[in-house]
Amino acid sequence: MLIATIIFIPILLTILSSFIKKVKILGMVNAFGYLALLAAFVFFMKDFLAKGSSAVSLWGWIYVDSLSVFFLFTTAVVSFAASVYSIGYIRQEVENSEISVRKASGYFQLFNLFSFTMLMVPVLNNLALIWIAIEMTTLISAFLVGFHNVKESIEAAWKYIVICSVGIAFALLGIIFFYYTSSKDAGVKSLEWASMLSGSGAFDPKIVKLALIFILVGFGTKAGLAPMHNWLPDAHSQALSPVSGLLSGVLIKISLYAMLRFVMLANLSVGYAFSAKIFVFFGIVSIVIAGAFILVQKDLKRLLAYSTVENIGLVSLALGLGPCGGIFAGLLQAFNHAVTKALMFFCAGEAVRAYHGNSMSRMQGMIKVAPFAGTAMFLGLFALVGMPPFSIFVSKLMILISVFNGKHYLLAAIILAFIAMAFAGLLHHISKVVLGNKPNAAQVRKEPLSAKIALVFLGIFILWFGLNIPKPFFDLLVSCERLILGT
Amino acid sequence: MMINFLLSGFLVVTFLLVIAKRVTALIRAFMAQAIFLFLYTLYMGFSQLHMELFIVCGLILVLKVIAIPFMLKRIVRRINVEEDLGLLINPQVSMVIALVFTYLSYIFARHTMALTDFAHSAAFIVSLTTVCVGFFLMVSRMKALSQVIGLLVMENGIFLAAGAIAGGMPFFVEIALFFDVFVFIIILEVFVYKVNRLFTHIDTSKMKSLKG
């Protein structure tokens, strides 16, 4: 029951945001709503883990197991941070008269609907409904990408909606293949998770392989895996900064969730090895392409977007090395990346505001212009590239260990080379933005309190998970790993 | 007999989509395809006598045969879109490519799916061809509107595939899919207007401000 009420908090907030007319109060109410969501969810998670992580199913519509809980937790954390960050961000947009008050309430409505669709994906029982929820995330967030209604943002939104919809159409074809083999070979005429899983041993391996290719390519497009990543740098760079954080932190992870669900379904008939090969392939391509593009970026938010491609590539690679202990590392990396990248996008939002534009050539000495966000960005940079004591260091190290465990030495060499390249690129670009003398045109600005709170909140997670992964979270990841490998 | 007629009609209309040079012709061909999809589902409804299939039929009629072509025509009227589609690949070559798609779908259906029933495998071949053609329309025509239609054509193909190989999706899934298509077309309409207002054209090949 609790889980159903948690999911509907954003709907309640959507309705509320059409009634409140003052932007500041609107933002506060919104943030408190997400705080309640996060608190209720942590409560639910405690209960869930205490009962031995057994799946919860409700009314035939809802099915929540460890994997769902993990992705819900990621969503809840990042969307809380984004809602807090939105308070000051949207208020300043209104004060600078970039948007009207009416449009600001439209923003909060879309924001809530977007979180609602993202929260729906991990809890739905029916695989086709998961597909529909993912398509809805695209359709709603397209408005948030094209929010400013200028040429660049509309172009990005158009590309985003068309490329992701095509990708997802292929995924639907894959789902139909799954349904075909499940009704013909296993006699299960249903797309419900538990019944399909129980029949999955009897699936026809040939059709499952085919279906899996369609699904991994289709949802992989939405997950931002190269070479289908073209929409991602455009959309992430044009969206409002709180939304960029959500897109990069959560949206692409949600597609990863859908991919994993189907991989689990295919395990009994074709084994994990088949999907692992596809994961490794996409992982390497993403890391290589992102590494190369990071070096030549001129736009701060595009730089961060390419770093997202690199990180999702690492996650995919780790999932591909599943049997050598990669799944744990991959999921941990997914969470760490979500938190760190949200932090970086929020800092980038402050930078864009201070220097009036995304171009890095005009940005210098951010630490003097916006001391708090500048410092956070500098620390976040080290977290992002994987320096200790921050959390991505731990998960990256675990991924490398699993590469070596699998004795893929050539692979390890390639990955290390391109990770180093991305490291150098990010360090070069962002240290230029943060350090140095401030240009005369830039004024020292007063940073909104809400931005500081959001950054500190995310920073706590980055440091905490770097020093010591909490026991309940560790257990959750272990049980996810068991679920995915089907052991 | 009847099923052969319907599937051939569907295939012919799919080829018409490929050779259309003008926006209105493309919309008309899309509408004709939706009519064949409607008739096919109606035929299935009569042969299986499922109440649910008739409801799906009604939805296809309302949404795909009437509402979507109407909306597409309204877009064309409102933004005075130039008739020319901007073909990157000319109709003759496009037609050959569509035939290659059909042949590949045939090979694919024979070797992987092991469909025994003739009607089912024919429907599956036609549906796969349609999916490929939809994708082809999206990448080889410059107008933003043709990308929308390409996606809708792909959707038609997937719908036919579901009917052909799996005997249709579970009922509420189909309803949800209709809802999805409905929302999708409305949102794309909004975006086509926005693109037109800002760029003063709907030529996607000229959208190049974002790079790298």
β-bridge partners, A124: A62
User: How many whole angstroms separate alpha carbon A87 and alpha carbon A164?
Assistant: 29
Indicate whether B57 pLDDT > 90. no
User: Three-state DSSP class for A58?
Assistant: strand
Across residues B63-76, what is the average pLDDT? 87
A128 and B170 within 8 Å at the Cβ level: the answer is: yes
Residues A354-392: tens digit of each pLDDT: 888 788 878 888 888 888 888 888 898 998 888 888 889
Across residues A92-120, what is the average pLDDT? 86
Residue A338: alpha-carbon gap to chain centroid: 5
Contacts of B176 in chain A (CB under 8 A): 128-129, 132
Indicate whether B208 pLDDT > 70. no
Chain A residue with minimum CA distance to B186: A139
pLDDT over 70, % of chain B: 93
Max distance between CA atoms of chain B, in angstroms, equals 55
> Shortest CB distance from B173 goes to which of A128, A183, A207?
A128
User: How many whole angstroms separate alpha carbon A296 and alpha carbon A292?
Assistant: 7
Contacts of A295 in chain B (CB under 8 A): none
Q: With the C-alpha atoms ordered A148, A152, A158, A161, is the resulting torsion angle positive or negative?
A: negative
pLDDT of residue A343: 92
pLDDT of residue A6: 81
The C-alpha of A425 sits at a distance from chain B's nearest C-alpha, in angstroms, of 15
User: How many whole angstroms separate alpha carbon A432 and alpha carbon A426?
Assistant: 10
The C-alpha of B100 sits at a distance from chain A's nearest C-alpha, in angstroms, of 20
CB A337 within 8 A of CB A249: yes
Chain B residue with minimum CA distance to A154: B195
Across residues B164-190, what is the average pLDDT? 80
> Across chain A, what does the average pLDDT equal?
86
A135 and B180 within 8 Å at the Cβ level: the answer is: yes
B112 and A207 within 8 Å at the Cβ level: the answer is: yes
Residues B88-137: tens digit of each pLDDT: 788 888 899 989 998 998 888 887 776 667 777 888 888 889 999 998 98
Across residues A129-154, what is the average pLDDT? 88
According to the 3-state scheme, what is the secondary structure of chain B?
CHHHHHHHHHHHHHHHHHHCCEHHHHHHHHHHHHHHHHHHHHHHHHHHCCHHHHHHHHHHHHHHHHHHHHHHHHHHHHCCCCCECCECCCHHHHHHHHHHHHHHHHHHHHHHHCCCCHHHHHHHHHHHHHHHHHHHHHHHECEHHHHHHHHHHHHHHHHHHHHHHHCCCCHHHHHHHHHHHHHHHHHHHHHHHHHHHHHCCCEHHHCCCCCC
CB B133 within 8 A of CB B101: yes
B131 and A158 within 8 Å at the Cβ level: the answer is: no
Helix intervals (H) in A370-470: 371-385, 391-405, 409-434, 449-467
pLDDT of residue A216: 92
The C-alpha of B201 sits at a distance from chain A's nearest C-alpha, in angstroms, of 12
Indicate whether A409 pLDDT > 80. yes
Contacts of residue B150, defined as CB under 8 A and 6 or more positions apart, other chains included, come to B134, B135, B136, B137, B138, B141
User: How many whole angstroms separate alpha carbon A406 and alpha carbon A63?
Assistant: 34
Indicate whether A338 pLDDT > 70. yes
CB A211 within 8 A of CB A178: yes
Contacts of A159 in chain B (CB under 8 A): 207, 210
Residues A292-334: tens digit of each pLDDT: 888 888 888 888 999 999 999 999 999 888 777 788 889 999 9
β-bridge partners, A299: A359
pLDDT of residue B81: 65
A237 and B210 within 8 Å at the Cβ level: the answer is: yes
Split at pLDDT 50, 70, 90, the class of B191 is: confident
pLDDT of residue A443: 76
Indicate whether B71 pLDDT > 90. no
pLDDT of residue B117: 75
Q: What is the ipTM of this complex?
A: 0.88
Q: With the C-alpha atoms ordered B206, B210, B211, B212, is the resulting torsion angle positive or negative?
A: negative
User: Three-state DSSP class for A448?
Assistant: coil
Across residues A243-267, what is the average pLDDT? 90
Q: With the C-alpha atoms ordered B69, B74, B75, B81, is the resulting torsion angle positive or negative?
A: positive
Q: Who has greater pLDDT, A55 or B9?
A: B9
CB A378 within 8 A of CB A434: yes
B198 and A183 within 8 Å at the Cβ level: the answer is: no
Across residues A103-127, what is the average pLDDT? 89
Split at pLDDT 50, 70, 90, the class of A53 is: low
Contacts of A302 in chain B (CB under 8 A): 212
Q: Who has greater pLDDT, A185 or A313?
A: A313
From residue A164, give the alpha-carbon distance in Å to each of A138, A158, A230, A328, A464: 7, 10, 10, 28, 35
Indicate whether A463 pLDDT > 80. yes
Residues B138-172: tens digit of each pLDDT: 888 877 888 888 888 988 888 888 888 777 777 77
pLDDT over 90, % of chain A: 21
Contacts of A158 in chain B (CB under 8 A): 144, 191, 195, 204, 207
Nearest-5° Cα angle at B53, B50 to B54: 95
Number of CB atoms found within 10 A of residue A28's CB: 16
pLDDT of residue B115: 66
CB B6 within 8 A of CB B36: yes
Query: Count of CB contacts below 8 A, A vs B?
Result: 105
Contacts of residue A183, defined as CB under 8 A and 6 or more positions apart, other chains included, come to A189, B166, B167
> Shortest CB distance from B166 goes to which of A149, A159, A176?
A176
Chain A residue with minimum CA distance to B190: A143
User: How many whole angstroms separate alpha carbon B162 and alpha carbon B56?
Assistant: 13
User: Three-state DSSP class for A365?
Assistant: coil
Indicate whether A63 pLDDT > 80. yes
Tell me, what amino acid is at A229?
H
β-bridge partners, B146: none
Q: Identify the top-confidence range among A13-22, A69-78, A469-478.
A: A69-78
Total count of residues recorded for chain B: 212
> Shortest CB distance from A183 goes to which of B113, B166, B204?
B166
pLDDT of residue A81: 93
B194 and A154 within 8 Å at the Cβ level: the answer is: yes
CB A439 within 8 A of CB A362: yes
pLDDT of residue A259: 92
Residue whose token pair is 């999911």? A7
pLDDT of residue A115: 92
Global pTM? 0.89
User: How many whole angstroms separate alpha carbon A164 and alpha carbon A158?
Assistant: 10
User: Three-state DSSP class for A228?
Assistant: coil
CB A75 within 8 A of CB A254: yes
Total count of residues recorded for chain A: 487
Helix intervals (H) in A271-325: 272-295, 300-320
